[in-house]
Amino acid sequence: MGIDFETIMKFKNIMDKMNSKEDPRSKLLISLKPYLKDNKKNKIDQYIQFLNISRVIEMFNKSNGDDK
C-alpha cells in the first residue's frame, strides 16, 4: 500500500488533537456549561470544536515550517 507508518502517526496525532480536552480554554468552557441555558451549551460545544480545529491548523503550519 502507499501509506507508510509516518503518515499513520501524523493522522493519529491529528485525531488526538481534535479529540483532546486538555486545552485550558476548553476546560474553562466545559466548566461553564452547567451554569448556562441549553442553547448556550450547544454554542460551547461548537466553540470547543473550533478550538480543536485551530490546534490542528497550527500543527499543519508547524509541520510546513510556518512557525509564526
- 33 located within any domain: yes
- What is the rounded distance in angstroms from the CA atom of residue 54 to the CA atom of residue 57? 5
- 9 located within any domain: yes
- 68 located within any domain: no
The sign of the CA dihedral 36, 30, 19, 50 is: positive
Q: 9: exposed, middle or buried (C-beta count within 10 Å: 0-12, 13-18, 19+)?
A: exposed
Domain that holds residue 50: 5-63
- Per-residue confidence (pLDDT) for residue 7, from 0 to 100: 74
Q: Please tell me the total count of domains within the chain.
A: 1
> Residues 13-55: pLDDT tens digits?
777 777 766 788 888 999 999 999 998 998 998 998 888 888 8
The model's pTM? 0.63
- 20 located within any domain: yes
Euclidean distance between the first and the last CA atom of the chain, given in angstroms as a whole number: 35
CB 68 within 8 A of CB 36: no
